[in-house]
Amino acid sequence: MSKDPEVYLAKDLAGGGEIFRRLNPPARLAVFGDPVAHSASPPMHNAALREQNHDLQYVRIHVTPEELPDALKNLASADFLGASLTIPHKQAALPIMDHVSREAQLMGTINTVAVRAGKLCGSNTDGPGLAAAVIEEFGRSLTQLRVLIIGGAGGAGRAITVQCALEGSPSVIIANRNKEKGDLLAQEIQEHLEFPISSIPMTAESLGHAMKSVDLIVNATPLGMKTGDASPLPHLAEGLLNARHLVYDTIYSGGETALLKQANHVGAKAANGFSMLLHQGVLQNTLWFGEPAPLATMREALRSLRN
């Protein structure tokens, strides 16, 4: 175990994960990440587990990219029911799974692993979680909104992009630093879903032009996770942000991000990633246990972290 008593290490899963069996209640679910100490998932999921009378707990495990294959394969022998995956594991875990849901295959990423009969089953609740969060925060669905996804070709951004296509958003534009990566995703979605996606580079000029014709702006980049991070919207695009825009920042750690400050400054409706974290977590709980998750309890657990 690491020096932080709330963060375990990948090696703790080896040899049957005895350290997790000795906990009271035993740990049988976890979030894998690098870093992972910031994760708000354990309080949310543990509140749900107590409400559901499940005699187990959910913990943080620091897993590096090199450790991911063994950590995932050790879940079954450590008697784990599954795991959540966060940065940087959502794409790397895909080929390690024994089974992947159709939606997760389209998204090219997974954020949820369920262990069933010793097999690893991968799903993605990020996309549906964002869809539910948008309805909660703004009272409108993705089916009604023209969407710009900054960082839309990687990690959670890719899942959000596919979700917008699945729901039939009027238009979807993805901006990526690596435009070739964005172009490839746009082509894949066109081939599999027959849904047109526009791909643009993450430049001030391109973002500024795109913002003239979109309703919802989603930040799916890591910008905002660290104190002092700049906004993903450069100066030119910032000047085009106005009160008619809806702004959703998937970052939930720390205080108000630079992007949310920009949105609030011009009077745009804005929200951070806590609601997406909540709804994707509710869907994870349902996948693991096959029963309705206690939404209100999980929401209150997250609210307590913000106070």
Interatomic CA distance for residues 75 and 71, integer angstroms: 7
Stronger pLDDT, 275 or 224, i.e. the higher one: 275
Q: What is the DSSP letter of 73?
A: H
Q: How far is CA 125 from the centre of its chain?
A: 8
Q: Which of 297, 306, 307 is nearest to 44 (CA)?
A: 297
Q: What is the CATH number of the domain that holds 33?
A: 3.40.50.10860
* pLDDT over threshold 60, residue 4: no
* 146-167 residue pLDDT tens: 999 999 887 789 999 999 999 9
The answer to the question of residue 56 being in a domain is yes
Domain end, chosen from 104, 124, 144, is at 124
The answer to the question of residue 225 being in a domain is yes
The domain in which residue 120 lies consists of 7-124
- If asked whether residues 195 and 73 sit together in one domain, one would say no
The answer to the question of residue 289 being in a domain is no
Domain end, chosen from 124, 146, 171, is at 124
What backbone torsions phi and psi does residue 5 show, to the nearest 5 degrees? -65, -15
- If asked whether residues 120 and 131 sit together in one domain, one would say no
Q: What is the structure's pLDDT at 238?
A: 67
Cα–Cα distances (Å) from 176 to 41, 79, 166, 201, in that order, read 27, 39, 20, 5
Residue bearing tokens 């839309």: 152
Q: What is the structure's pLDDT at 254?
A: 61
Query: Looking at this protein, which amino acid is placed at residue 273?
Result: G
* pLDDT over threshold 60, residue 5: no
Q: What is the structure's pLDDT at 269?
A: 97
Domain end, chosen from 91, 106, 124, is at 124
Q: Which of 43, 53, 57 is nearest to 274 (CA)?
A: 43
Interatomic CA distance for residues 186 and 265, integer angstroms: 33
Number of domains within the chain? 2
* 190-249 residue pLDDT tens: 999 999 999 999 998 899 899 999 999 999 998 888 888 889 987 666 678 999 999 999
- If asked whether residues 135 and 269 sit together in one domain, one would say yes
Stronger pLDDT, 306 or 18, i.e. the higher one: 18
- Annotated catalytic residue 212: no
> What mean pLDDT comes out for the span 250-269?
89
Q: What is the structure's pLDDT at 298?
A: 97
The answer to the question of residue 25 being in a domain is yes
- Cβ distance 37 to 47 under 8 Å? no
Instruction: Look at residue 297 and give its three-state secondary structure.
Output: helix
Please provide the average confidence, as pLDDT, over all residues in the chain: 93
Q: What is the structure's pLDDT at 38?
A: 85
* 70-109 residue pLDDT tens: 999 999 999 999 999 998 999 999 999 999 999 999 999 9
What is the enclosing helix (H) or strand (E) of 224?
none
The answer to the question of residue 298 being in a domain is no
- Cβ distance 84 to 32 under 8 Å? yes
- Cβ distance 151 to 219 under 8 Å? yes
**Which pTM does this prediction carry?**
0.92
- If asked whether residues 64 and 120 sit together in one domain, one would say yes
Q: How confident is the model at residue 1 (pLDDT cuts 50, 70, 90)?
A: low
Interatomic CA distance for residues 36 and 257, integer angstroms: 19
Selected catalytic residue, list 3, 11, 73, 90: 90
Cα–Cα distances (Å) from 306 to 32, 40, 265, 297, 302, in that order, read 22, 10, 22, 15, 7
